Amino acid sequence: MRITALLAITLATITAKEPKISYPDSNPGETVDLIHGVSVPDPYRWLEDLNSEDTSKWVTKQNKVTETYLARIPGRDPLEKHLTKLWNVERFGVPFFEGGRFFFTKNDGLQNQSVLYSTPSLESEPKVLLDPNKLSADGTVALSDYEVSPNGKHLAYSTSSSGSDWIEWKVREIATGKDLPDHLLWSKFSGASWSKDGKGFYYGRFPAPKKGRKMTAQNIHKKVYYHTLGAASQKSDRIVYERPEHPKEGLSAWVSEDGRYLLIQVSRGTDTKNGLFYKDLTTPDAKVVELLPKFDASYDYVSNLGSTFLIRTDLDAPKQKVISIDLNKPEAANWKTIIPESPETLRSLSHVGGILVANYLKDARTEIRRFELDGSQLSPVKLPALGTAAGFGGKSDQNETFFYFTSFTTPGAIYRYDVKTNTQVLFKSPKTQFNPKEYQSKQIFATSKDGTKVPMFVVHKKDLKLDGRNPTLLYAYGGFNISLRPSYSPATIAWLDMGGVYVMANLRGGGEYGEEWHEAGMKLKKQNVFDDFIACAEHLVATNYTSSSKLAIAGGSNGGLLVGACMVQRPDLYGACLPAVGVMDMLRFHKFTIGWAWQAEYGKPDDPTDFKNLLRYSPYHNLKPAKYPATLVITSDHDDRVVPSHSFKFAAALQAAQQGPAPSLIRIESKAGHGAGTPTTKRIEAIVDKYSFLTRALGFQIKL
């Protein structure tokens, strides 16, 4: 949503006095639902109809108000130039080796989408294999996923348009760069996994939604298909596995490295507990074996040693352990523990170069440990500094792998790692447009309402004065077992250069300290997450990092819910709020797209006990006449994960409830979705808008 040149002219006539905002009429209706005996008003239900002309007009009017407001804020041009400079550095993805070739992504700096390259040797000049920037004029078609066939001849790749979760699969010949006629639709939340012979691949897809319901229809009845290479139509694709009696179970399938087994992971919504099944591909017409059908823990397949599976699990081990299961005697009594549970949280594991490489979290920072296949511990991998490492993928017989390392002030560097010698060399590193030595980061802890210690990473320039006057941006997520870890972003550096303090909090509900930490912030315990976030905000004020009038809170998706709930519960504690693509209506989230799956995390609105809990904190339903902080609600018109009606309804209700002078605006991005695949140009525009809004809300000027 670029501010037009016409609107920008208003910069010349800006005055110190804040103009009164005239919001569009949101026409509240009289809809009232009787749920478990409770009357629940829903006056803005009409905004759920994303195809209606009235909703379209409302979106246009709201965007005009927001654009006009943002255009009046001085310093936007210097901020955009500075942010563009920081962003304009060459960036690489982690390389991998398949079928005799290396593959990696690279972005020259300001390309809307990263480009996929291929080369037989890392010492030779790589060639472009797929450039997503050529798939659309505005960069809104993104490369979602890709998989190289074992023989290195073909690339199965998926694209998404305008940020939608819906993806389309195609196949490209690697030697010629030409696409085959294969074209697969209605796939979502799925990768592709080639059969060992390279004649086709497995993938997941949903039934085609009814006309006009593509962006809102529930995503159920997912099936695993096998697509034969060269078939233009997916009508001939063979159903490999389905569970029609469980339409809301998710299915993910992939082939083991040796090509012998098809692994099928069965999920129930976003619950971390899953089932793990397999099919022996060496036996014609073999049945799917329900190896782990109890859904009593998380089970993640790592590798197989013949007929023995290595599984990472949290069964009786909230911080994860590794077990082996012999398929010839799969009973639990015969399982062996290979790597026992550690005080640190095991987040991922790979079998590469004949050993196991384990990625652990210690207070949300990465530690990489190595083990023999029998669990004997080897010397750890020494990382460049305290931060986040990821990668270490590859085949069990490949002695070389790669990993990515980043921190708040270290742009992602790629390292080439030798498994046998446990040594690494720098492969690629961006040339920074700033001096990392000017900044510092540290970890501090706040005490939540119930006494729980909650960690926060605090990043700022070294000359910071703790005088309570620093504009501070507090970010968090707190849900779905997702761990927030230190990572580099040009947006963070720009905020620091503006004189700001950036804080990332690791709340309960996340996965930083294992499944117990996650469960302490879900369902009936969700209020713990909000209490944690409020405690972090209060700690920053109490220790003079900032003051309430200088403090902004931000989060996206489940983090948008977090911001919405906390601003409703403690509107006095913040100077500004940035809830992005948030789940704001906790009584109807399960009725759209994949929202039903989140009931494993939030609870079921149809359950009387869960309903009372959800109603207690639902941001949309708890807005009441009060003085709220300056708020910029953020969403996108093509978000088919958290449908934009959540943000539409919340913004309309907030504008009606606002009793103070602070603005209550909504920014609705066009041709964008939940976040993935957003073009660079749109990312920069969005950050400029958010930071400009914060300068006005928190009372400081952009000086760059």
pLDDT of residue 17: 52
Sequence letter at residue 181? P
Instruction: Please state, in angstroms and rounded to a whole number, the distance separating the CA atoms of residues 413 and 403.
Output: 8
pLDDT of residue 18: 63
User: How far is the CA of 646 from the CAs of 298, 413, 471, 555, in angstroms?
Assistant: 30, 38, 29, 15
Are the CB atoms for 48 and 649 separated by under 8 Å?
A: yes
1 lies in some domain: no
480 lies in some domain: yes
SS3 content of the chain, % helix, strand, coil (to 5): 25, 35, 45
pTM comes to 0.93
Exposed/middle/buried for 123, CB within 10 Å: 0-12, 13-18, 19+? exposed
557 is catalytic: yes
pLDDT of residue 640: 87
pLDDT of residue 1: 44
500 lies in some domain: yes
Are the CB atoms for 478 and 528 separated by under 8 Å?
A: no
Please state the domain count of the chain.
1
674 is catalytic: yes
Mean pLDDT by 10 residues, the chain (704 residues): 35 47 96 97 97 96 97 94 95 95 96 96 95 94 96 97 93 97 96 97 96 90 97 93 96 98 97 98 95 98 98 98 98 98 98 98 96 98 94 96 95 95 95 92 97 98 95 98 96 97 98 97 98 98 98 98 98 98 98 95 98 98 98 92 96 98 96 80 96 97 81
State which H helix or E strand residue 404 sits in.
Answer: strand 400-407
Q: What letter does residue 329 receive in the DSSP assignment? A: S
576 lies in some domain: yes
State which H helix or E strand residue 290 sits in.
Answer: strand 289-292
204-233 burial, b if ≥16 CB within 10 A, otherwise e?
A: bbbeebeeeeebbbbbeebbbbbbebebee
The range of the structural domain enclosing residue 57 comes to 30-85+434-698
Residues 6+ apart with CB under 8 A from 661: 18
pLDDT of residue 701: 86
**Angle at alpha carbon of residue 492, lines to 404 and 666, rounded to 5°:** 120
Q: Which residue among the candidates 82, 539, 638, 674 is catalytic per the annotation?
A: 674
Are the CB atoms for 397 and 354 separated by under 8 Å?
A: yes
132 lies in some domain: no
Two structure tokens written together for 104? 């990696």
Q: What letter does residue 480 receive in the DSSP assignment? A: T
Two structure tokens written together for 408? 């708040």
Exposed/middle/buried for 320, CB within 10 Å: 0-12, 13-18, 19+? buried
484 lies in some domain: yes
CATH number of 496's domain: 3.40.50.1820
154 lies in some domain: no
618 lies in some domain: yes
Q: Which residue among the candidates 483, 557, 618, 692 is catalytic per the annotation?
A: 557
Are the CB atoms for 273 and 265 separated by under 8 Å?
A: no
